[in-house]
Structure 1
Amino acid sequence: MSLQIIHSLSAVNAKDWDALLPNAQPFLRHAFLSALEDSQSVCGKSGWQAAHGLWVENGKLLAALPAYRKQHSSGEYVFDYQWAHACQRVGIAYYPKLLGAVPFIPVSGPRLLGDPAAASKLLQALTLRLAKDGLSGAHINFTDHLADKLLADCDGWMERIGCQFHWHNPGFADFEDFLQTLTARKRKQLRKERAQIAQQGFAFDWREGHELSEADWDFIYACYAQTYRVRGQRPYLTRLFFSLLSERMALAIRVVLASQGGQKQAMALSLTDGKNLYGRWWGCLAEWNGLHFETCLYQGMDYAIAQGLHEFDAGAQGEHKLLRGFRPTLTRSWHYLCHDGLRQAVRHFLAEERRAVQGYMDEAQTLLPYRQD
């Protein structure tokens, strides 16, 4: 029995890795994670060095944790910058740290993969070697219920909660059927927003991965990169990642292209597991009033209804979704810190933060646009 740390997913057979996954969610699949590595979107140069944990018994892979040795806190969506800054002020080294997550993807899902008993052994062995490996601690973000249970039973791990907004489809016949569940004022607002886009002459075309050419991917990447450039940032993902994703996971890809006068102007890229839709990246070549809401939210809701998908997760950002029927949804992450003083300070911080997040979620429930009858 042993814990093994590998620095490239190519060291694991894709079938062996995927056999550990409990569901069809695309982000933990070997094809997705290896596309991040093979495209150099995730590499030591980017501050994300693969350090996947494997638990092997008698030569058989029984459990795994997709993980990365991090030199910064960018691209995580569970923000610990305050902890890092506090460490810097008092001379505690916060980086490097170990992060169990899907890079750049704030979607809750499996993290401790495989047999639960083996995953528990992996977790215990991993924490014992953190200090030896020069790591300040370990963090596992956006966990599912199985990981929550395992981590809650392990000494030293601290739970952190957060809030996202997801849209649920109980079986609507069409978008108008959904609108009938809203208050009259909200129905009017949403119809007006969609009508404004139609009046500007926009048309929308949904395509699956196999229907996209390299020229389409050039456009998709240009839009994606533009969302970072307008904020003066470098895109997390390389152009090659999208080609590799198309090659390896075409069946999971859904892209909606927004065109005006026959010219493509914007896109939103989602992935699906056949039950849920996960909106991941969007971008536009120019700013258009209301185009973001239509492309990223309403088009996804339309698609989920048409395909009978149960849930639409449109990303991490918040309140604008709440007012369009996306419900507050609790997320969890877990944190293990080696330094005693830092651990106690963070534990106190998390207790205060938990009360604030729970209060925020309670208030958000009162702002939902649904009719009360």
Structure 2
Amino acid sequence: MRSSDRRAFLSIRAVYQPPRRSRYARGVRTSNASGSARQGDGFGGVECPPHPRERPPLSERTARIVHDIADIAADAWNRCATSGAANGTPYNPFLDHRFLRALEASGSVCTKTGWQPFHLALCEEAPASDPGARTAGPLEGQRVLGVVPMYLKSHSQGEYVFDSGWAHAWYRAGGEYYPKLQSSVPFTPATGRRLLAPDTPDRTEVEDQLLMATVQAAHQIDVSTLHFTFLPKAQWERAGKLGMLQRMDTQFHWENAGYGSFEAFLAALSSKKRKNIRRERREARANGIEIEWVTGGDLTEGHWDAFYEFYVDTGHRKWGTPYLNRRFFSLLNDTMPDETLLILARRDGRYIAGALNFIGSDALYGRNWGCIEDHRFLHFELCYYQAIDFAIQRGLERVEAGAQGPHKIARGYVPRATYSAHWVRDSGFRDAVRRFVNEERRHVEQDIEWLAEHAPFRKDIDLSRYRETVRIEGA
């Protein structure tokens, strides 16, 4: 680590507060600055030198771990996570306090399911002259400067960046891979910021301090690894410069070139692909199937009852046990109806299939799908084509239809790189993982280039915008 990075790392005094009856808190050492044991004081309690930049006395920053997102005020969290939309930072519904709170309040995300909340908040004491900034609860009297959604995990399920091979290798070498720290949105393979700070002049500095604080937390609770998954490229590059291992993968996104209608989009495709899509859409609607969009105040518990039946069916086929419980969808309906879209198929007066989507300021995010009747091409219609229709009508820039799926290329979706960053505690294991991810990145880059050549657009359409050249540094 460079000396300048080390100074930034040491500028944070982190505080750990173990949850009650948590079996993952074992081995955590808490002490105050004098070294005497006391719950609630620092990762070693080290008093660190100030950051090189001058600060007023009240600007001492502290990183605190919070085990229930409800203990961070929603306005304080969203000021870091979503308030930048007015200044050009797109709104991402998965980073919204309401979404993350629904995961926890429903019990879908908890210690029992292997996702113990371990959120990090970077704070400073709020001046008495600014009572509006003084957060209540465990962070009372603190101004929240930045946050990191993070979880202490006992498995690798629901992440979509696969490290089970790493876990097996470390186990065979005699190590314990779990628990590990994971900065992500549970069960959600969608790119979004993980180092969350308001759009202010010192945003970059705060993000760097958040990153350093997470590494310090990983050191102090003695986990084997720390993972940031589905990072935006800028945060991925910053993590790499600070020594984290950089990993890549591929998703397929539909991108809006200013189309005025679905037919305008089809006009950009090759004749063969155009005909295939029209045929698939016709066949999907055969047998009297009707399709509807439901969002906002039109969503009812009846819609969620129907969708949950579809979701459970898919979950049993793929994972054995669905990740999300029924209560999660009710909480979603209560708190985020305007950011939620259900695309439902009905036949003979009853719903038979559905796709759940979330609406951002610049993107539609497809998340879950299920059905109780099998109809040819109905999955493509609900998850891909209807999503494109909706995005065009709303003027959204893209549709992110989730993980995997080279078959999406033939339906107008193009390859895009996704990014993750990883800290590995053991130096020997870290070197082995570094060799793996460096080689993996080269293959991913080659795959993206090859897949882009098979984009379904007409030959007279400029395909350069559908390529993404990934520059690999330090490979």
Q: TM-score, normalised by structure 2?
A: 0.77
Cα separation, 2, equivalents of 1:54 and 1:116: 16
2:238 counterpart of 1:150: yes
- State the shift of 1:274 in Å: 3.3
Cα separation, 1, equivalents of 2:319 and 2:247: 30
Cα separation, 2, equivalents of 1:238 and 1:370: 40
Which residue does 2:7 correspond to in 1?
Answer: none
Cα separation, 2, equivalents of 1:85 and 1:256: 40
- From 342, 351, 355, the equivalent of 2:442 is 355
Counterpart residue type for residue 34 of structure 1? R
Cα separation, 2, equivalents of 1:146 and 1:167: 22
The equivalences for 1:1-80 within 5 A come to 1-21=61-81, 22=84, 23-58=90-125, 59-80=142-163
SS at match of 2:373: coil
Which deviations, in whole Å up to 9, do the C-alpha atoms of 1:223-266 show, x marking residues without a partner? 11110112361000010000001111111011111011222110
Which residue does 1:370 correspond to in 2?
Answer: 457
Which residue does 2:383 correspond to in 1?
Answer: 296
Distance change (3 Å), C-alpha of 1:125 and 1:263: closer
2:231 counterpart of 1:164: no
- State the shift of 1:131 in Å: 3.3
Cα separation, 1, equivalents of 2:319 and 2:428: 36
Distance change (3 Å), C-alpha of 1:231 and 1:280: closer
Cα separation, 1, equivalents of 2:319 and 2:432: 33
Identity of aligned residues (%): 40
Cα separation, 2, equivalents of 1:308 and 1:122: 34
The equivalences for 1:319-358 within 5 A come to 319-358=406-445
The 8 Å contact of residues 110 and 146 in structure 1, kept in 2 or not, is answered as no
Cα separation, 2, equivalents of 1:195 and 1:70: 45
Q: Following superposition, which runs of at least 4 residues in structure 1 exceed 2 angstroms of deviation?
A: none
2:175 counterpart of 1:92: yes
- State the shift of 1:317 in Å: 2.0
SS at match of 1:3: strand
Which deviations, in whole Å up to 9, do the C-alpha atoms of 1:128-164 show, x marking residues without a partner? 2323313112100001144224313313x01101110
Counterpart residue type for residue 143 of structure 2? K
Counterpart residue type for residue 217 of structure 2? R
Counterpart residue type for residue 148 of structure 2? L
Cα separation, 1, equivalents of 2:331 and 2:250: 31
Cα separation, 2, equivalents of 1:129 and 1:184: 55
Aligned-CA RMSD value: 1.2
The equivalences for 1:262-277 within 5 A come to 262-277=349-364
- From 327, 351, 361, the equivalent of 1:240 is 327
Which residue does 1:123 correspond to in 2?
Answer: 211
2:332 counterpart of 1:249: no
Counterpart residue type for residue 152 of structure 2? R
The 8 Å contact of residues 271 and 278 in structure 1, kept in 2 or not, is answered as yes
SS at match of 2:357: strand
Which residue does 1:220 correspond to in 2?
Answer: 307
Query: Matched residue pairs, number?
Result: 372
Which residue does 2:134 correspond to in 1?
Answer: none
The 8 Å contact of residues 268 and 281 in structure 1, kept in 2 or not, is answered as yes
The 8 Å contact of residues 293 and 341 in structure 2, kept in 1 or not, is answered as yes
The 8 Å contact of residues 55 and 119 in structure 1, kept in 2 or not, is answered as no
240-249 or 121-130, larger mean C-alpha shift: 121-130
SS at match of 1:76: coil
Which residue does 2:196 correspond to in 1?
Answer: 113
SS at match of 1:170: coil
5+ residue gaps, structure 2, are: 1-60, 85-89, 126-141, 198-202, 461-475
Cα separation, 1, equivalents of 2:216 and 2:383: 43
Which one has more relative contact order, counting CA pairs under 8 Å at least 6 apart?
1
Which deviations, in whole Å up to 9, do the C-alpha atoms of 1:54-93 show, x marking residues without a partner? 1111221111110000100000000001100101111111
